[in-house]
């Protein structure tokens, strides 16, 4: 199944905050919906959840209009949305019933998910008495109570230590493997790379980049090489490259242990290597550059 968002526009008063947002999500694959604060991610998610309407644009599943009443939706917000002074089990059952479950099924699902998240012992405790990490796990249990077909994870790893983060990783992977629509939003790019096959980067209400993450990485890295030298620091190597190889390359970035260059011609990798050897550069590493998602995000969403 495929969920498609096409040309979403949304204005608040005279200010248009979404300028024609388009992307798609396939069931059984996770989409990383990325952007800086204020880029339009939350507005897009709220439109998908029918919290409010877009001014224009369409949302479809397999070509048919998407209606939230026909699907169970799970939402893990960045800011916790549960009641701090209410008992954990009671409020999860209450929220599941609001979403259409019977009291019996709601109680069974509550117990199942508290056990799965390792917080069953806190069923009769007020939420505010739990640690930040355990509150996050209760919030995740709430997200999945009704076996949602469409799930939004907004900064899901906030407040979790490595052990609890692994529990959450396992649960998210299970949801993807079960064929759910998963939309994942986070500023922690390593998690996005771990879960997401596809990405859409928003900047000031526009989608500035979208598609398959592997293909995007390949495209971003195709004209770039990575070099390091045993005998020179990255700064020394960069200066040498800029002075003696400017006809073949441009120095793009100097990092802690390497230099990233951009070839001036697509087919001159061998020529660059030959010249480096001829001029006595003691190479430690010479190879293709594979950008991290963080590099791509900064390039596409960073202000000029």
CA-based end-to-end distance of the chain: 38
For the chain, how many residues are written?
Answer: 304
pLDDT at 182: 95
Q: Rounded to an integer, what is the distance from CA 265 to the centroid of its chain? A: 33
- Alpha-carbon distances, residue 220 vs 5, 252, 253, 299 (angstroms): 25, 13, 14, 10
Q: Which two tokens stand for residue 132?
A: 């930040």
Contact call for residues 149 and 49 (beta carbons, < 8 A): no
Whether domain 222-301 has CATH 1.25.40: the reply is no
Residues of the chain with CATH 3.30.70: 222-301
pLDDT at 303: 63
CA angle in degrees (0–180, nearest 5) for 155-159-160: 95
pLDDT at 299: 87
For residue 122, what is the enclosing H or E element?
none
CATH architecture of 2-217: 3-Layer(aba) Sandwich (3.40)
Sequence-distant (6+) residues with CB within 8 A of 200 are 23, 31, 32, 33, 34, 207, 209, 210
- Using alpha carbons, select from 56, 31, 26 the residue that is nearest to residue 41: 31
> How many other C-beta atoms can be found within 10 angstroms of the C-beta atom of residue 270?
8
CA angle in degrees (0–180, nearest 5) for 7-12-14: 95
Three-class DSSP category at 29: coil
Residues of the chain with CATH 3.40.50.300: 2-217
**pLDDT means per 10 residues in the chain (304 residues)?**
96 95 94 92 94 95 93 88 94 95 96 95 96 91 95 86 89 93 91 92 95 92 90 92 90 91 84 90 91 90 70
Specify whether the backbone of 28 is left (phi greater than 0), alpha (psi in -120 to 50) or beta: left
């Amino acid at each position: 199944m495929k969920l498609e968002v096409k040309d979403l526009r949304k204005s608040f008063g005279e200010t248009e905050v979404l300028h024609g947002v388009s992307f798609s999500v396939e069931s059984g694959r996770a989409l990383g919906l990325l952007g800086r604060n204020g880029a339009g991610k939350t507005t897009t998610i709220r439109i998908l959840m029918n919290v409010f309407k877009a001014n224009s644009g369409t949302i479809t599943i397999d070509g048919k209009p998407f209606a939230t009443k026909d699907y169970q939706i799970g939402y893990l917000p960045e800011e916790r949305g549960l009641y701090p002074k209410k008992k954990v089990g009671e409020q999860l059952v209450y929220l599941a019933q609001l979403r259409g479950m019977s009291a019996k099924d709601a109680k069974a699902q509550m117990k199942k998910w508290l056990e799965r998240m390792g917080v069953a012992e806190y069923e009769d405790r007020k939420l505010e008495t739990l640690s930040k990490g355990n509150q996050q796990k209760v919030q995740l249990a709430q997200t999945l109570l009704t076996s949602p077909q469409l799930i939004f994870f907004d900064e899901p790893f906030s407040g979790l230590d490595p052990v609890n983060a692994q529990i959450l990783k396992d649960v998210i992977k299970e949801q993807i493997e079960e064929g759910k629509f998963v939309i994942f939003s986070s500023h922690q790019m390593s998690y996005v790379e771990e879960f997401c096959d596809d990405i859409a980067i928003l900047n000031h209400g526009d989608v500035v980049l979208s598609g398959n993450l592997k293909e995007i990485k390949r495209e971003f890295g195709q004209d770039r090489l990575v070099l390091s030298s045993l005998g020179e620091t990255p700064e020394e190597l960069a200066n040498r490259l800029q002075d003696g190889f400017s006809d073949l390359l441009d120095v793009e970035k100097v990092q802690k242990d390497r230099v990233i260059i951009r070839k001036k011609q697509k087919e001159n990798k061998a020529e660059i290597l030959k010249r480096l050897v001829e001029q006595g550069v003691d190479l430690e590493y010479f190879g293709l550059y594979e950008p991290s998602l963080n590099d791509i995000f900064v390039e596409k969403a960073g202000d000029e």
